[in-house]
Amino acid sequence: MLVERATVQATEAGAAASWPFTLAPVRTLTSEGLNFTKPVTFLVGENGSGKSTIIEAIAEGFGLDAHGGRAGRKYGNDREKTPLGEAIGLEYTRAGSRMQTGPRSKKRGFFLRAETAFGLLNFVSGMSGYWDENLGEMSHGEGFLTVLETMFAEPGLYLMDEPEAALSFTSCLRLIALMHRLGEIGAQVICATHSPILASTPGAEIIEVGEHGMERVAWEDLELTAHWRRYMSDPDFYLRHLIGETGPA
C-alpha cells in the first residue's frame, strides 16, 4: 500500500459552505478523515453521492491528472485542481513516501475514469510507455481491459471511477483477478463503482457513501447487493412501480 489516510486540510468558511464540501461524505472526510486499511478499497453509492468527487480528489492529491492518465504526465493545459483536490491531504506509508519523494519518473499510478477515458485513451494510444495494441480495432470493453492489464502491472496507486461502464460480466471477473493480484504485489487500488460484482473482490474493503456520510460495510450487507439480488430474482418487484404490471394478462 502507498496511501494510508486522506484528510481535508483547513478550508475557508465560505468554501466549506459550498459544493462539494456540502456533500455528506465530504463532510465526513473533513471531520474524520478516511483511513485505508486494505490494498483494495471500493467506494459504493448512488449517482451524485460524492464517490467520484472523492476519487478525483485523491488522484489530484497523488499528482495524477483529474481527467485520467498515468502518473508523471499531464494531459491538459495546466488545469486548475478541483476544490476538494486543492484541500485534500494524503498520508503515505513508507513505500508511498519513497515514491512521492523520489524521481518523478519512478512514480507509478494511473487514474481511469469512464466518462473521460475514451478521449484520453485515443489521445495517448501509440505513444511510448503505453500499449502497443490498436484500441481503434477493439470494442470499448476490450480497449478498457487492454489498458488496465498494461498500465496496472506493478506496485503503484491505481484509481478507477466506474470502470464497469464498459465491461461485460466476464470482463468484470477479469478485473477482479487483476485487482486482487495488484493487492498481493504491494500496489493499491481505490475504485468508485456501482457494480456488486467488482465490490465482491476477495479481501477488499467496501465503504458505502451517501446521505449518512461514509460507512464500512460488508459486501453481503450492501444496499447495492440487496437490490441486485432482489431484482434478479423478481424484476417485477421494481418494474411494476415504473411501468405497471409486467406479467401475463
**Does any domain span residue 28?**
yes
User: CB–CB of 156/64 below 8 Å?
Assistant: no
Distance, in Å, from the CA atom of 51 to the CA atom of 42, rounded to the nearest integer, reads 9
pLDDT in tens, 145-188: 888 888 888 899 999 999 998 899 999 999 999 999 999 999 99
Identify the domain containing residue 61 by its residue range.
Answer: 3-241
At 137, which helix (H) or strand (E)? none
CATH of the domain at 11: 3.40.50.300
- Position 214 scores a pLDDT of 97
Question: Model-level pTM?
Answer: 0.89
Select from 77, 80, 29 the least CA-distant residue to 53. Answer: 29
Whole-number mean pLDDT of the chain?
Answer: 86
| Integer CA distances (angstroms), 137 to 35, 132, 141, 142, 225, in order | 41, 12, 12, 9, 35
Q: How many structural domains does the chain have?
A: 1
Q: Is residue 247 part of a domain?
A: no
Query: Does any domain span residue 136?
Result: yes
Do residues 1 and 39 lie in contact, with contact meaning Cβ atoms separated by under 8 Å?
Answer: yes
- Would you say residue 44 lies in a domain? yes
pLDDT tens by residue, 50-109: 999 999 999 999 988 887 777 766 655 566 788 999 999 999 999 999 998 887 777 889
